[in-house]
Amino acid sequence: MAFRLRLAPEHTNINFFAYQWPMLIGSCIMMLASIALWAVMGLNFGIDFQGGTTIRTESNQPVDVAAYRQALTGLELGDVAITEVFDPTFAEDQFVAQVRIAAQDGAEAVTPETIAQVEAALQGVDPSITFPSVESVGPKVSGELIWSAVLAVLGASGAILVYIWLRFEWQYAVGAVAALVHDIILTIGVFALFQIKFDLAIVAALLTILGYSINDTVVIFDRLRENLIKYKTMPLRDVMNLSANETLSRTLMTTGTTLIALIAMLIFGGDVIRGFVFAITFGIVIGTYSSVYMAKNLVLMIGLDRTEKPKTGTPDDFANIDA
């Protein structure tokens, strides 16, 4: 008989509603605290949202990002991002990088004196380096990026709401989206509390959290719908508990294996991606919690219509769509 790894017993009987109200109240308190932290402390915006200057470099020597960063450390530039640029049209001895420096003290761009210091420091690392272009991004463009990020998150949430509504019923959609809002607000609250840099990479992490969390929620909802057909007379609360227990092993296995990779990246990935990985790690943990406890609990509070419906000609025909 083949060995099968299970992070939970094959048959569990956990009462996920035992602390329904304390958990709901606790989640609401954490959401309010996150909003308060966001309003009072604000977010530590990175270059994408803060504005600044981008210096493009070219050299016939390979780009050494660590050496570039070390050379700029003593200049006290604040938030600096260094990335190597790859393009198939580049010549074999053409190596390009971008040095992005955040604006400081309310200025719209880095001063010419500071740019000259940066160029001199980089030339100390690589005398052959040149600077083909210097571009500045002001607060107006940064504000547009913030608004675009908000629209991206709202648009993704709205699309998920419509999908769950068509895939199941509107009660499921409300519970799922409420759980997603819970995940996003708590994640942003943690970034405000610890003043971790918030840039476009974190927005990408938030969208990843939305997709991961809704995937776990859909698995539980799908099993719930099957069990509602199978156990027509069982109380809704008991059917929900049964469904969550039946999918618990899958939930723990998926979350556990994902966290192994994320924790490794968090420890060994370096400063460049640490904020991005931290956001996804925290979001997956809180997303698993909301999928198991928040989403279905809200559906129970709203209630479901368990009466028999005609096979055709009903608004719920979309519930039979296979996804």
Please write the tens of the pLDDT for every residue from 214-245.
888 888 888 888 888 888 888 888 888 888 88
On the question of pLDDT at 9 being above 80, the answer is no
pLDDT > 70 fraction of the chain, expressed in percent and rounded? 86
Of the candidates 131, 128, 62, the residue with the CA atom closest to the CA atom of residue 90: 62
- Whether 20-43+142-320 and 52-137 share one fold: the answer is no
Domain extents for the chain? 20-43+142-320, 52-137
Q: Which one is predicted more confidently, 112 or 104?
A: 112
As a whole number of angstroms, the distance between CA 80 and CA 70 comes to: 11
Q: Which one is predicted more confidently, 182 or 296?
A: 182
Q: Which two tokens stand for residue 302?
A: 């709203």
Residue carrying the six token digits 């571009």: 135
pLDDT band at 35 (very low <50, low <70, confident <90, very high): very high
Q: Which fold has domain 52-137?
A: Alpha-Beta Plaits (3.30.70)
pLDDT value, residue 193 = 92
Q: How far is CA 193 from the centre of its chain?
A: 17
Q: Which one is predicted more confidently, 277 or 93?
A: 277
pLDDT value, residue 281 = 93
- Under 8 Å between Cβ of 292 and 161: no
Please name the residues in contact with 49: beta carbons below 8 A apart, sequence gap of 6 or more: 142, 145, 146, 149, 198, 199, 200
On the question of pLDDT at 318 being above 70, the answer is no
Encode 252-306 in three state secondary structure: HHHHHHHHHHHHHHHHHCCHHHHHHHHHHHHHHHHHHHHHHHHHHHHHHHHCCCC
On the question of pLDDT at 17 being above 80, the answer is yes
As a whole number of angstroms, the distance between CA 36 and CA 185 comes to: 11
pLDDT value, residue 5 = 59
Provide the residue type at 135 as one letter.
E
Q: Which fold has domain 20-43+142-320?
A: Multidrug efflux transporter AcrB transmembrane fold (1.20.1640)
As a whole number of angstroms, the distance between CA 118 and CA 122 comes to: 6
Give me the mean pLDDT over the 284-295 stretch: 88
Secondary structure of residue 57 in the 3-state scheme? strand
Please write the tens of the pLDDT for every residue from 43-99.
887 777 777 788 888 888 888 888 888 888 877 777 788 888 877 778 888 888 888
Please write the tens of the pLDDT for every residue from 136-152.
766 555 567 777 878 88
As a whole number of angstroms, the distance between CA 50 and CA 56 comes to: 19
Provide the residue type at 114 as one letter.
T
- Classify residue 288 as exposed, middle or buried by CB count within 10 Å of its CB (0-12, 13-18, 19+): buried
pLDDT value, residue 104 = 66
Residue carrying the six token digits 């990246």: 265
